[in-house]
Amino acid sequence: MTGKVEYYFKHNDGTHIQGIGLGTFASTEGDCERAVLNAIDVGYRHIDTAYFYGNEAEVGAAVRKKIDEGVIKREDIFITTKLWCNFHEPERVEYACRKTLKNIGLDYVDLYLIHWPFSYKYRGDNELIPKDANGEVELVDIDYLDTWGAMEKLVDLGLTKSIGVSNFNEEQLTRLLANCKIKPIHNQIEVHPALDQKKLIALCKKNGILVTAFSPLGRHNAELRTPTFMYDGKVQAIADKYNKSIAQVLIRYVIELGTIPLPKSSNPKRIEENFNVFDFKLDAEDHAILDSYHNGERVAHARQAIKSKYYPFNVYSACF
């Protein structure tokens, strides 16, 4: 088994997705386009972006370039993007999706996610986190079930092949499953040793929903030497055992939790390194060590939306 092995999962709607993807959050100003070009050359066939990231156009430019070069065909690449929180009114969903397709420069995306279950007041396409005169984020009460109904229509229109959610907790996902015509194929959530999400992953698996894992390495801060697991000698020892980097061990751990990781990098060497995680397997002792870092600590809190009744992290089980 080599690091170049391409392995795929089948969704509940029959589509397929590669078992690792390139994350692109906070990658702009040309970095994103270069990263996607490099990733495709390495072997990535799964790219994750979002309207909120401001880099859909860069993702699209890179994909189209590789199609024009004959490196890939459109059907070879799986592109995920997301509906932002200010477009949750059902009448705005199709508009938002079409705007995204214009940004990307393609006729369809493979997967369109509701980025968060809560909603912001619409103050224009580019006012992504609207605030009132007091500096408070302007939340609106839009039921994500209503948004989902509009998402289902996008599949019928051929604007996206599949639909799913992101950052939904167990209660929200269960409620959605009980009230949908088209079942979500994905729940994209934060997963790493400090937040292993085992309970939520199990619920998704039980219902035939794949989990994509963002921030599989946590949020790296070299000055503060955080997260702890990135700097612990015990994790370094695991990496040494397999002649791998700590990052590769962490990505492999997230894979073995039953998720599809989305490591983000714009560094060509790291992009390739992150992809080469299919030629080793962690043992029970490794898992016990990595499991020990679980404390429910998140990278993405979205605390600006904590007053929304749809804020997903007020539920204890959503963390543990």
Tens-binned pLDDT, residue by residue, of the chain (320 aa): 334 445 899 999 999 999 999 999 987 788 999 999 999 999 999 999 999 999 999 999 999 999 999 999 999 999 999 999 999 999 999 999 999 999 999 999 999 999 999 999 999 999 999 999 999 999 999 999 999 999 999 999 999 999 999 999 999 999 999 999 999 999 999 999 999 999 999 999 999 999 999 999 998 787 888 899 999 999 999 999 999 999 999 999 999 999 999 999 999 999 999 999 999 999 999 999 999 999 999 999 999 999 999 999 975 433 33
Tell me the three state secondary structure of residue 41. helix
Structure tokens at 178: 């009980």
Q: Is 115 annotated as a binding residue?
A: yes
26: left (phi over 0), alpha (psi -120 to 50) or beta: left
CA distance 284 to 272: 27
CA distance 269 to 308: 41
- Which of 44, 51, 53, 120 is catalytic? The answer is 53
The question of whether 112 is a catalytic residue gets the answer no
Tell me the three state secondary structure of residue 261. strand
DSSP-H helix ranges across the chain:
31-42, 56-68, 90-104, 144-157, 170-177, 198-206, 233-242, 246-256, 268-275, 284-291, 316-319
What is the Cα gyration radius of the chain?
A: 19
Q: How many CA atoms, within 13 angstroms, populate the side-chain half-sphere of residue 142?
A: 26
Contacts of range 24-27, beta carbons closer than 8 Å, 24 or more positions apart = 24/48, 24/49, 24/53, 24/55, 24/58, 24/59, 24/264, 25/50, 25/53, 25/214, 25/264, 26/53, 26/264, 27/53, 27/55, 27/58, 27/264, 27/266
Question: What pLDDT score does 315 carry?
Answer: 53
Question: Whole-model pTM?
Answer: 0.95
CA distance 262 to 23: 5
Question: What pLDDT score does 9 carry?
Answer: 92
CA distance 294 to 313: 16
C-alpha angle with apex 276: 73 to 46, nearest 5 degrees? Answer: 30
Q: Pick from 110, 85, 310: which is nearest to 210 by CA?
A: 110
Q: Which CATH superfamily is domain 16-305 in?
A: NADP-dependent oxidoreductase domain (3.20.20.100)
